[in-house]
C-alpha cells in the first residue's frame, strides 16, 4: 500500500520518582515511548511523557525532526498520567495543537482528576509536573482522525493495565502504538489488573492487536534500543501467563516479587512490580 506517512520514535529518559524506597531500582520510572506520525505537511504525536523537563526535551526533538511541519494532534492511548501530563508544555510550544483521545479514555482521565490524581501523582513527581490538568477532546465513536488525508484510528479495548485503555492503529504503515497494552523490557503493571478477569481482558486486548497483523508494534514502556516489532506481543502475553502461574504458587507478595525478578532480571521499574505483587496477592487473599 502506498503511503505518504512516516513514523519516528522518541523514548523519554527515565525520571526519578519519590516512591518511598531508597533503592535506585525502585525510584526510577520506566522509559516512555512517544510516536510521531507525519505526512508531507502535518503530524500527530501519540503519547507524551510526564514531567515538564521531559516534555521540553520532547518538544525540542519534534522541532528538530519535523521543522517545517505542523503538529496538529496529540493522542493519548490511556488514562495513566505518565502518558499525557506534559501535554500543556507541548501546547504552549506548538500553538493550536489539539489534545484528543477516545471517548472512554477521555472519561477515564476526567474520573482520574476527580478521584486519585491529587493523592498519588504530585507526590510521586514533586515539583516536576505542570499545574494544568489537561483534558482531551473526545473523538467521535469511530475514533478516526486524519493526517494529510491518511487515517489514524483509536481502538478501545477492555481492562489492560488500566480500565480506560485504547491503542492507535495506522493501517497504511501497519503500525500499532499500544500504550500499556504491550510492554518491552519493563515490568508490567498489575496494580489495577489485579484480578484474573482483568488480566483476561488484557490478554483479549493483546489478541486484538495481533489480529491486525501489524509490522510495527510500539510498546508504551521499553528499552530505547528495543526493536518495535510483533515479538513484543508474545513476550507481553507470556509475562501475564507467568505472573498468573507464580501468583498461584506464591506464599506471600514478597515471594511473588522475588520470583518475578528472578525470571525477568532485565526488566525495569521494580516499584511498579512491587505495587502489582502487593495488590494482586491481596486480592487473591481477599484482603482488598
- What backbone torsions phi and psi does residue 238 show, to the nearest 5 degrees? -65, -35
**Res 3: pLDDT:** 83
How many structural domains comprise the chain? 1
Contact partners, residue 269, CB within 8 Å, separation at least 6: 28, 29, 30, 186, 187, 221
**Res 7: pLDDT:** 99
Q: Which three cell numbers stand for residue 60?
A: 525540542
Q: Is residue 213 part of a domain?
A: yes
CATH of the domain at 64: 3.60.15.10
**Res 211: pLDDT:** 99
Q: Is residue 64 part of a domain?
A: yes
DSSP 3-state assignment of 102? coil
**Res 2: pLDDT:** 73
**Res 1: pLDDT:** 54
Domain of residue 119: give its range. 6-284
Residues of the chain with pLDDT under 70: 1, 288
Tell me the CA distances in angstroms from 25 to 80, 123, 185, 229, 259, one per residue in order.
Answer: 21, 18, 14, 27, 16
Q: Is residue 1 part of a domain?
A: no
Q: Which three cell numbers stand for residue 162?
A: 488500566
Q: Is residue 92 part of a domain?
A: yes
Q: Which of 194, 104, 196, 211 is nearest to 158 (CA)?
A: 104
Q: Which three cell numbers stand for residue 108?
A: 477515564
- The answer to whether 100 and 56 have CB atoms below 8 angstroms apart is no
Angle between helices 270-284 and 253-263 (to 10 degrees): 140
**Res 106: pLDDT:** 99
Q: Is residue 225 part of a domain?
A: yes
3-state class percentages of the chain: helix first, strand second, coil last, to nearest 5: 40, 20, 40
Round to whole Å and give the CA distance between 106 and 98.
Answer: 13
Rounded to 5°, the CA angle 73-30-133 comes to: 45
Q: Is residue 145 part of a domain?
A: yes
Helix (H) or strand (E) holding 283: helix 270-284
pLDDT digits (tens, 9 = 90+) for 56-101: 999 999 999 999 999 999 999 999 999 999 999 999 999 999 999 9
Tell me the CA distances in angstroms from 12 to 26, 35, 55, 76, one per residue in order.
Answer: 18, 11, 9, 15
Q: Which three cell numbers stand for residue 161?
A: 493495565
CA neighbours closer than 13 Å in the CB half-sphere of residue 238 = 9
- The answer to whether 171 and 151 have CB atoms below 8 angstroms apart is yes
Tell me the whole-structure pTM to 2 decimals: 0.97
DSSP 3-state assignment of 43? strand
**Res 286: pLDDT:** 85
**Res 123: pLDDT:** 97
Q: Is residue 248 part of a domain?
A: yes
Chain mean position to CA 28: 16
Chain mean position to CA 126: 21
- The answer to whether 119 and 84 have CB atoms below 8 angstroms apart is no
**Res 12: pLDDT:** 98
Indicate left, alpha or beta for 213 from its phi (over 0: left) and psi (-120 to 50: alpha). left
Amino acid at each position: 500500500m502506498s503511503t505518504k506517512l512516516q513514523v519516528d520514535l522518541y523514548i523519554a529518559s527515565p525520571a526519578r520518582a519519590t516512591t518511598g524506597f531508597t533503592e535506585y531500582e525502585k525510584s526510577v520510572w520506566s522509559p516512555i515511548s512517544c510516536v510521531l506520525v507525519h505526512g508531507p505537511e502535518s503530524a500527530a504525536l501519540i503519547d507524551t511523557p510526564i514531567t515538564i523537563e521531559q516534555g521540553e526535551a520532547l518538544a525540542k526533538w519534534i522541532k528538530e525532526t519535523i521543522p517545517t511541519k505542523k503538529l496538529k494532534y496529540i493522542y493519548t492511548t490511556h488514562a495513566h498520567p505518565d502518558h499525557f501530563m506534559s501535554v500543556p508544555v507541548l501546547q504552549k510550544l506548538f500553538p493550536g495543537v489539539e489534545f484528543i483521545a477516545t471517548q472512554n479514555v477521555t472519561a477515564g482521565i476526567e474520573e482520574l482528576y476527580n478521584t486519585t490524581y491529587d493523592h498519588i501523582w504530585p507526590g510521586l513527581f514533586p515539583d516536576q509536573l505542570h499545574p494544568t490538568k489537561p483534558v482531551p477532546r473526545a473523538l467521535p465513536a469511530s475514533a478516526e482522525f486524519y493526517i494529510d488525508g491518511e487515517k489514524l484510528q483509536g481502538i478501545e479495548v477492555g481492562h489492560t493495565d488500566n480500565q480506560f485503555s485504547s491503542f492507535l492503529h495506522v493501517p497504511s504503515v501497519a503500525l500499532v502504538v499500544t500504550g500499556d497494552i504491550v510492554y518491552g523490557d519493563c515490568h508490567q503493571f498489575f496494580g489495577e489488573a489485579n484480578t484474573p478477569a482483568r488480566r483476561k481482558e488484557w490478554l483479549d486486548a493483546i489478541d486484538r492487536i495481533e489480529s491486525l497483523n501489524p509490522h510495527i508494534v510500539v510498546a508504551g514502556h521499553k528499552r530505547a534500543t528495543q526493536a518495535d516489532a510483533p515479538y513484543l506481543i508474545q513476550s507481553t502475553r507470556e509475562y501475564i501467563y507467568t505472573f498468573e502461574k507464580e501468583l498461584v504458587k506464591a506464599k506471600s507478595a514478597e515471594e511473588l516479587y522475588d520470583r518475578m525478578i528472578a525470571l525477568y532480571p532485565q526488566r525495569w521499574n521494580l516499584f511498579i512490580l512491587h505495587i502489582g505483587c502487593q495488590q494482586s496477592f491481596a486480592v487473591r487473599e481477599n484482603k482488598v
